Structure 1
Amino acid sequence: MSDPQRIMAVRHGQSEANLAFGESVGVPLVYEREDHEITLTELGRSQAAALGAVLRSLPEGEAPEIVWCSPYLRALDTWSLAHQAWGVGPLPVRVDARLRDREWGDLRHCNRAAMEQRFPEETARLLAEGEYGYRPPGGESFGDVAVRLRRFLGDLRGWAEGRRVLIVAHDSVVLILRHVIEESPDTELAAVHVHAPIMNASVSTWASKDGRLELLAFNEVGHLG
């Protein structure tokens, strides 16, 4: 097995939750909708269309041939709108639960201010363990995300050997995918913070070279104007 010829990984466009949490910094917010139900804002929809324009502009030898998508609605909607704007015929699309966003378990509805108010002991543990080591109750650490993405990437080498792949997912997935592709040990996981935040509708690209995936661009948003 060998790597895909090319991987493009994109974060979904702005979601309703992104907007709500962004507008409530410092103010407690409990956002009741479940993660898999959250869809795009109007801005997010226009960002998805801009992704489609990026795909349309690619040379034939660089355009994706097959798509892997998170099962969450905001990612599926991003792909659907990007596909429409791209204007090509149907492509094979696989939905893989390993591409879902990092799970926050019991804290999933809370922004940081609400977490401090409702779960002060968890806030203290987060501060003590650090963002990249902390596992919320019933949720995942970034190390857990790395484990499932290593398994995904291993399977991808068999499923998409020599092909050009588009991955539509989430900020945590794109960020930790870089860590996994670079084969960095999880003891160095906190070092990924220098590449954050992953922007809505950003594009990150790797190409196969000499038996390895080489990073060409990361977290690019120039297409959004």
Structure 2
Amino acid sequence: MQSLTIVRHGESTANAARDTSAEEFITGTRDADVPLTELGAAQAAATGKRLAEFEPGFDLVVCSPYARTRETARIALGFPTAPPVQYDERVRDREPGVLFGLTRIGIQRRYPEEYRAMQRVGGFYHRPAGGESWPDVALRLRAVLREMHGHALVFTHDIAIVLTRYIFGDLDEAEISSQTTAQVRNASITRWERTDSGMRLAVYNDTAHLM
């Protein structure tokens, strides 16, 4: 792999609805089906214009199969040199299990044992019932990264971007635990380029194209 460019999906309805004072921020849908908002679609279009300027172009495009990433890729990849999209469940969002759609307050009230476990082992290693820990996500990301070649473009989620930094040695567990995935902004671009010493982080969380 010569370069890796990762795009977080545009704003979704779950992102727009998040209210930390309530117990739930979304209900009545699967995580896989959460769509973009009108703003998220506009962000995807702006991202596509920026991606079309990248030299060299892309040899490979991989996308999470979730609705919000599929929509982001469909809108962004309107330029003629874009390769066909390969959908790969290994770059999907973290599976939250029973905690899907709940705020921290909601978890504490509805699943107090899960909340205590999360406090005890830390958010990085905690695996909610029916869900994944951060290392679980890292394991599947390691597998798909090994298969990438040339100049790769990935449409994915905030946790996958943070964990790719972890895999490439840019962050450790303590640094990850001290931040939130929300620091990776919607429709942001992060890019690594190969050097003699390995993959170097060239751009992180860039949203200049959205201004």
Tell me the TM-score normalized by structure 1: 0.86
SS at match of 1:57: coil
Q: Tell me, yes or no, if the aligned pair for 1:133 and 1:143 is still in contact at 8 Å.
A: yes
Q: Which has the higher helix share?
A: 1
Residues 30-109 of structure 1 aligned to structure 2 (within 5 Å):
31-59=27-55, 61=56, 63-84=57-78, 87-89=79-81, 91-109=83-101
Instruction: Give the distance between the partners of 1:183 and 1:148, measured in 2 at CA.
Output: 18
- What is the alpha-carbon root mean square deviation over aligned residues? 1.7
Preserved contact between residue 10 and residue 68 of structure 2 (Cα < 8 Å): yes
CA distance in 1, matches of 2:60, 2:5: 11
**Residue 220 of structure 1 pairs with residue 206 of structure 2:** yes
Q: What is the count of residue pairs matched by the alignment?
A: 208
Alignment correspondent of 2:126: 134
- Distance in 2, matches of 1:191 and 1:32, equals 34
Q: Who is 1:123 aligned against? A: 115
The answer to whether the Cα contact below 8 Å between 1:45 and 1:78 also exists between their aligned partners in 2 is: yes
Cα shift readout 1:126-162 (whole Å, capped 9, x = no counterpart): 1222121211111111111111111111222xxx2xx
- Structure 2 residue 104 is matched with structure 1 residue 112: yes
State the alpha-carbon separation in 2 of the partners of residues 216 and 181 from structure 1.
Answer: 12
Deviation at 1:183, TM superposition (A): 8.0
Deviation at 1:182, TM superposition (A): 2.1
- Corresponding residue for 2:22? 27
SS in 1 for 2:52: helix
Mapped partners of 2:75, 2:62: distance in 1: 15
Q: Is the aligned partner of 1:176 residue 2:170?
A: no
Q: Which runs of 5+ in 2 are unaligned?
A: none
Amino acid in structure 2 at the alignment position of 1:67: V
Find 1:204's aligned residue among 163, 187, 190: 190
TM-score of the two chains, using structure 2 as the length reference:
0.92
Partner deviation per Cα, 1:81-132 (whole Å, 9 max, x = no partner): 1112xx2255132111100001111111322222122111211221222121
- Paired residues for 1:137-176 under 5 Å: 137-156=129-148, 160=149, 163-176=150-163
- Alignment equivalent of 1:192, drawn from 170, 176, 179: 176
CA shift at 1:72, angstroms?
0.5
Q: Is the 8 A contact 2:90 2:140 kept in 1?
A: yes
Q: Is the 8 A contact 1:67 1:94 kept in 2?
A: yes
